[in-house]
Amino acid sequence: MRSIPPTAPDVRPARHAARWLWPLAGLLSLLLGWLLLGQDTFPGPAATLAYAARESARGTLWGHVGITLWRVLLSFVLALLLGVPLGLALGRSRALAGFLAPWLAAMLSVPRILVLLAAYLLVGLNERALVGAITLILLPGVAVQVREGVRGLDPRLYGMARAFGLGRAATLRAVTWPQLTPTLLGTARLTLSLAWKMVVFGEVFGRTSGVGYMLAFAFQQFEMRALLAYGLVMTVILGAADAALGALGARSAAWRAGGTP
């Protein structure tokens, strides 16, 4: 009688559990650290959430958060719409990359506050100045990251595509897009993270609405609960968006390891 060889245990459930276990442990450690700071040093989670609930009931919290999110989204989308095609062109054309290299180096080196202040002085203290300045700050980073992603495409896969007689559209769909998607999603994550920080920073001294404006007002009133409440709400919202982009990035890159997400 032939013996049946034992099958290897399925480790996929353990891997999926580990994906959530460590982030959850990190979140709990962050909450524990907040609690250990003590009420005398820092308002605790209960006091912060109570203040946020009161601001929400007054209608103040979500109005300012919504304005900031709109500015972040607009700057983020504009930067991607301009930066991704530019990065693709830079990755494919050495001449264009060489011509624009000094421009990109200058834009990446200029202090970001200088761009904001110059926009406010030239355009005025308005939405166009803030969104335009943030878009200009985000643009070079997007272009450079996409450029490097294009340069990192595997030429061997294009040789295989030609050998199998794939056309341009099929090659784009089956070869270019799968390789470039993780880069694009990673670029989107970094751009979103920088966008909301810079929008809030620009609101502090250039606008009369938004989370940044409320943080500046809270600072003038020495109200630490307001600083934490508005900061916490924005962090949770943008953290959730970042986690969603990260999950999409992991799924899109699963083919590299030959596995499933």
Write out the two tokens for 36: 């250990």
Identify the weakest region by mean pLDDT among 72-76, 139-143, 184-188.
184-188
**Does the structure show a pLDDT above 70 at 18?**
no
Calculate the dihedral angle through the C-alpha atoms of 181, 67, 235, 228, rounding to the nearest 10 degrees.
Answer: 170
Q: How far is CA 1 from the centre of its chain?
A: 60
Q: Please compute the mean of the pLDDT values over residues 200-220 and round it to a whole number.
A: 89
d(CA 157, CA 161): 6
pLDDT digits (tens, 9 = 90+) for 112-157: 899 999 999 999 889 999 999 999 999 999 999 999 888 887 777 7
Specify if 4 maps to a domain.
Answer: no
The pTM assigned to this predicted structure is 0.81
d(CA 202, CA 209): 11
d(CA 46, CA 53): 10
pLDDT digits (tens, 9 = 90+) for 218-244: 888 888 888 889 988 988 898 888 888
Percent of the chain with pLDDT over 90: 33
Q: Please compute the mean of the pLDDT values over residues 72-88 and round it to a whole number.
A: 94
Identify the CA nearest to 115 among candidates 189, 201, 190.
201
Q: What is the reported pLDDT for 164? A: 67
Coil, strand or helix: which one is 181?
A: helix
> How many structural domains does the chain have?
1
Specify if 151 maps to a domain.
Answer: yes
Specify if 161 maps to a domain.
Answer: yes
CA distances from 82 to 76, 87, 146 (A): 10, 9, 11
Number of residues assigned to the chain: 261
Specify if 16 maps to a domain.
Answer: no
Q: What is the reported pLDDT for 258? A: 53
Identify the weakest region by mean pLDDT among 34-38, 92-96, 124-128, 201-205.
34-38
Domain that holds residue 214: 48-253
Q: What is the reported pLDDT for 255? A: 56
Q: What is the DSSP letter of 209?
A: S
Identify the weakest region by mean pLDDT among 4-8, 63-67, 210-214, 237-241.
4-8
**Does the structure show a pLDDT above 70 at 64?**
yes
Q: How confident is the model at residue 19 (pLDDT cuts 50, 70, 90)?
A: low
Specify if 61 maps to a domain.
Answer: yes
d(CA 50, CA 84): 42
Residue with tokens 């061997």: 156
Residue 112: Cβ-neighbour burial (10 angstroms; 0-12, 13-18, 19+) = middle
Identify the CA nearest to 115 among candidates 144, 138, 85.
138
Calculate the dihedral angle through the C-alpha atoms of 212, 213, 216, 218, rounding to the nearest 10 degrees.
Answer: -100
Percent of the chain with pLDDT over 70: 81
Mean pLDDT (the chain) is 82
Q: What is the CA radius of gyration of the chain?
A: 23
Q: What is the reported pLDDT for 67? A: 92
**Does the structure show a pLDDT above 80 at 8?**
no
Q: What is the reported pLDDT for 14? A: 58
Q: What is the DSSP string of 46-61?
A: HHHHHHHHHHHHHT-H
Q: What is the reported pLDDT for 130? A: 94
Identify the CA nearest to 238 among candidates 173, 202, 190.
190
**Does the structure show a pLDDT above 90 at 208?**
no
Q: How confident is the model at residue 260 (pLDDT cuts 50, 70, 90)?
A: very low
Q: What is the reported pLDDT for 249? A: 72
CATH number at residue 170: 1.10.3720.10
**Does the structure show a pLDDT above 50 at 15?**
yes
Q: Please compute the mean of the pLDDT values over residues 195-209 and round it to a whole number.
A: 89
